[in-house]
Homo-oligomer: A and B are copies of this chain.
Amino acid sequence: MIKTDHTHDPAAQSWVVSANQASSEFPIQNLPFGAFRRRGSDEDARIGVAIGDQILDLRHAAELGRWSADIQALLAPLAQGDLNAFMGQPPAARLALRHALFEALLTGSKQEAALRTALLAQSEAEMLMPCRVGDYTDFYTGIHHATTVGKLFRPDNPLLPNYKWVPIGYHGRSSSIGVSGMAIRRPWGQRKAPDAEAPVFAPSQRLDYELELGAFVAGGNALGEPIGIEKAEQHLFGLSLLNDWSARDIQPWEYQPLGPFLAKNFGTTISPWIVTMEALAPFRCSFERPAEDPQPLAYLDSAQNRAQGAFNIELEVWLQTAAMREGGLPAQRLSQSNFRDAYWTVAQMLTHHASGGCNMSSGDLLGSGTQSGPLPEQGGSLLELSQGGKQALVLANGEQRTFLQDGDTLSLRGRATAPGARSIGFGDCWATLLPARAA
């Protein structure tokens, strides 16, 4: 169990003064990891920690700072640009580095002068994939999403019988995962109208987003060896935001009997920053099931998981259309929800994944599935908000949307909050939809 410690003190301030602004997602209490290079350069990827509107470049920090031998050893792979190697360190080591970085960035630290030269403004950085994702799996833990989408197909029986027993998931495509700002191009694909004799191969007309979180694995297990629910938290490194771009017209035609494929694998976007489990400790909350629901089977149940398996993370979706951008209008919020409403915890996702012996590795990514809230306006996708495309959303500038249009910029935002704690964020998870390739 990760204990709350002084790195969560809401009064703590950094000599990087932008971190102390209430609006900053990256106060000294956060310290999330990302990879970057100087914009416009072709430098190798570097690992950094976000602090205010700056990045602490861990290669420079390892060279310039004064660190204990233990911390210097932990910084070594990070200075080489290898976050995966650091992810494989035990929880105590990860916490030790957090403490060292916190102390070094704290107002009054003797490290200030040395580390000032290890800062790069976020505005001057191009963000890169933070780690190698060996395998990516997407789960389906948003019960309100599963219910709403199920109703579109099965009004009388929206939730399948396995939903409350199995943390449903499927393997995704790791190669097409990128960070905020990546190019997402409207895909071509097969679709078939219900009354058509044959399918057509054409650009998707029902392009959608899905509001998810991603969990990164820390350390792994050997093939054939499960990860018990009591050990699962030790094998989690942190969370990001995740947009599971989805082509709603490709999926119904292709997905029987083996699941979604080209409807999903044209791109997945994550936020530029991975917020660590250590940083998220104050935002853990209880995981509760309605009394009338089945309780998790023993291999998915633990006292710790019940007491604090969930996360209080407020989630938002924002849309800026091309017309808004050209007219100087800001993005508009489409929906709000909270990760604490997930029907399965991240620990349960990981334990279930490894329960048959599947081997997990540092850097593997687990998507949470779409996180919709209980109310209709809290849908985490346009499929839900437009009732399957039947009811267009009318935007503030008069535009309408059932699904995304070329040029739309879609952003996910997340904020972990708790009474008495300094709130922290992930950075926007955004991309602008490019038109389909010409025939």
Seen from chain A, the residues whose Cβ lies within 8 Å of a Cβ on chain B are 134-135, 137-138, 140, 160, 162, 165-166, 168-176, 178, 182-183, 185, 187-190, 192, 198-199, 201, 204, 223-226, 247, 250, 253-262, 265-267, 294, 297-299, 352-353, 355-361, 364, 434, 437
| Cα distance A355–B437 in the bound complex, in angstroms | 11
- A178 closest partner in B (C-beta): B223
- A184 closest partner in B (C-beta): B224
| Cα distance A337–B265 in the bound complex, in angstroms | 32
A190:B173 contact, CB within 8 angstroms: no
- What are the residues of chain B within 8 A of A137 when measuring CB–CB? 261
Selected from B135, B138, B262, the residue in CB contact (under 8 A) with A356 is B262
Q: For the complex formed, measure the closest distance between the CB of A70 and the CB atoms of chain B, giving whole angstroms.
A: 28
A187:B357 contact, CB within 8 angstroms: yes
Selected from B140, B165, B254, B356, the residue in CB contact (under 8 A) with A266 is B356
| Cα distance A199–B298 in the bound complex, in angstroms | 12
How many identical subunits does the complex contain? Answer: 2
Selected from B165, B175, B183, B353, the residue in CB contact (under 8 A) with A134 is B175
Q: For the complex formed, measure the closest distance between the CB of A236 and the CB atoms of chain B, giving whole angstroms.
A: 17
A-B contact pairs, 15 of them (CB 8 A): A135-B173, A137-B261, A165-B192, A166-B253, A169-B261, A171-B171, A173-B358, A176-B358, A183-B224, A188-B356, A224-B434, A258-B259, A262-B352, A262-B355, A266-B358
B170:A360 contact, CB within 8 angstroms: no
B257:A255 contact, CB within 8 angstroms: yes
Selected from B135, B165, B250, the residue in CB contact (under 8 A) with A174 is B135
- What are the residues of chain B within 8 A of A168 when measuring CB–CB? 254, 257-258, 261
Selected from B225, B256, B267, the residue in CB contact (under 8 A) with A162 is B256
- What are the residues of chain B within 8 A of A171 when measuring CB–CB? 170-173, 261, 265
- A294 closest partner in B (C-beta): B198
| Cα distance A160–B252 in the bound complex, in angstroms | 12
| Cα distance A364–B175 in the bound complex, in angstroms | 10
- A165 closest partner in B (C-beta): B199
A201:B258 contact, CB within 8 angstroms: no
| Cα distance A376–B173 in the bound complex, in angstroms | 35
| Cα distance A262–B354 in the bound complex, in angstroms | 8
- What are the residues of chain B within 8 A of A267 when measuring CB–CB? 223, 357
B262:A170 contact, CB within 8 angstroms: no
- A247 closest partner in B (C-beta): B356
